Structure 1
C-alpha cells in the first residue's frame, strides 16, 4: 500500500529507510517536507540546493548591495547571508514586502538591501529551483493529486514546522490522512487548528547515572565501558547509542578507543575520508595525480 513518511533530516531518512527495508515494506516513500512540496508541485521543480545558494551568494557579492556593501567582503558574510535568506524563506517572509511595510528608516534600508541580495541570488539559481513560498503555491494548485501521489502521510521526528509549510500541511489534511507522530515530543499548539491526527505516548523514564570525567577521552572510555556492559547483558547493538549535541569534538577519541575495545562504532553523522587507511590511500593517489611525483634535482 502506498504511504509516505515526512522526515526532518537525512539521518532520519536513513533510519526510516533501514527500518522499512528490515520490515519488508513496499510502496513507502520517505521525503522531507520541501521534497514533498516539490513532488506535488510537479515537473522537474526542486527546493533550493544549499550549494547552489552559496554559489549564487558568492557571485552576487561583486554587485552593489546597498547597506551590505560595507560588510560583504568580511569573513563569514557569504555563510551569514545564505542563512539569513534561508531563514526568511522558511518563515514565509517576502523581504520586498517587509521592506515596503517597515516604518523605521534604518530597518527599511536594511531590508531593502536584503531584498536586493535576494533578487540577485534568485536570478543566479537554476530555473527549476524555487523558494519555499513558490513551491507551496504551486503545490497548493495541485493539491488534488496528493492522495494519488502520497497516500496516507505521517510526519515523524518533529517538534515544530516552519511557518511556510503549514498551509500545505493543512491542505494535505483535507484531501488525505495526515498523522503527526509526536510520541513523547511536544505537540505544537498551531496543529490543533488542523484536521491532523496526533499520535502521542508517555515519555520514558529511564534510570539515570552520572559519572565525573576528567577529559573527553575519559568520557568516551566510560561510554565504551557502558556499551560493553550492555552487550554483555544480551542487549542488541542496534539498541545502544552514544549521543551528544555536537559529536565532532569526541570523534578522534571514539575512533581510537573503538579499535582498542574491538567494538565497531557506526558514526551516524559520517566520518572524514582521512580517518581510514583506504581514505588516506585515496588522498595520496589524488595528490600524485594532481601534482605528480616530487622531482629531485641531481647535480651533473
Structure 2
C-alpha cells in the first residue's frame, strides 16, 4: 500500500473524496484539510483548535483581561465570536503578534487574547500558527506520513500555510488542480489544467 494524500476544503469535498476513494479501493489515500495535514505532521496527538473550543475561552479572556481599544465594547453580545473571527483573519494572513511594539491598539488587544488562548487551550490543541510551526519541525517525516500530495480544487492557500506547503515540495511530489485565475506563482509544485493568467488591475 502506497500512501498518498489529497487536500480538500469543506465538508462536502471531504466526504466526496472519501466516497471516490472507497469506490476505487484506494486504501492508501488520506483525505484531509490543510490544518489536519499539519496536525498529522505535528504528531503527538496534536489537533487544530476549533470554534467549539475557542469561543468559550475567548469569552473568558474578554471577561478577565483589560484591553486598550475593545475594553468599552467587550461585554456586548456576540463579542466572543466577532473577536474570534478577527483573530482567524489575522492568523490566515500570518500576521504575528509577538513582535513588539504592536502596530495598533486593536492588534495589541488581539495579541493579548491570542496569548490567553495559548495558555488555556487543552493539551494537544494548538492554534494555527503553533500547529504549522510544529509541523515544520517534523517535516522530515513527510515522505512516510504524507506521500505524494495533491491539492484538490482549492481556490487558494492562506499565507499562514504556504511555508508548510513550500517545505513539503523538497520532500514529496506536489500537484494542484487549481480553479479560478488567482496568481499561484508562490506554489512550488505542478499546477494542473489550463495556464492561469491573473487579470491586471
TM-score if structure 1 supplies the norm length?
0.61
Distance 1:2 1:154 in 2: 12
Q: Is the 8 A contact 2:58 2:117 kept in 1?
A: yes
Does structure 1 residue 70 correspond to structure 2 residue 72? yes
Distance 1:122 1:180 in 2: 33
- Which structure has more relative contact order (CA 8 Å, sep 6+)? It is 2
Sort the Cα spacing of 1:135 and 1:5 in 2 relative to 1 into closer, same or farther, 3 A. same
The count of residues paired between Structure 1 and Structure 2 equals 193
Sort the Cα spacing of 1:193 and 1:87 in 2 relative to 1 into closer, same or farther, 3 A. closer
- Choose the corresponding residue for 1:200, options 172, 193, 199: 193
Does structure 1 residue 162 correspond to structure 2 residue 162? no
Per-residue deviation, 1:178: 0.6
Aligned to 1:32: 33
- Structure 1: which 5+ residue stretches go unaligned? 103-107, 203-300
Distance 1:85 1:128 in 2: 20
- Choose the corresponding residue for 2:147, options 145, 151, 157: 151
Aligned residue runs from structure 1 range 208-287, under 5 A = none
Would you identify which runs of 4 or more consecutive aligned residues in structure 1 move more than 6 Å? none
| Larger of the two Rg values belongs to structure | 1
Per-residue deviation, 1:187: 5.0
Aligned to 1:86: 88
Aligned to 1:2: 3
**SS of the residue aligned with 2:27?**
coil
- Structure 2: which 5+ residue stretches go unaligned? 196-201
Per-residue deviation, 1:101: 4.7
- Choose the corresponding residue for 1:128, options 110, 124, 130: 124
TM-score if structure 2 supplies the norm length?
0.89
Q: Is the 8 A contact 1:96 1:111 kept in 2?
A: no
**SS of the residue aligned with 2:170?**
helix
Distance 1:201 1:22 in 2: 28
More helix by share: 1
Listed one character per residue, the Cα deviations across residues 114-156 of structure 1 (whole Å, up to 9, x for unaligned) are 2112222222211311122212211112111101111111001
Aligned to 2:180: 186
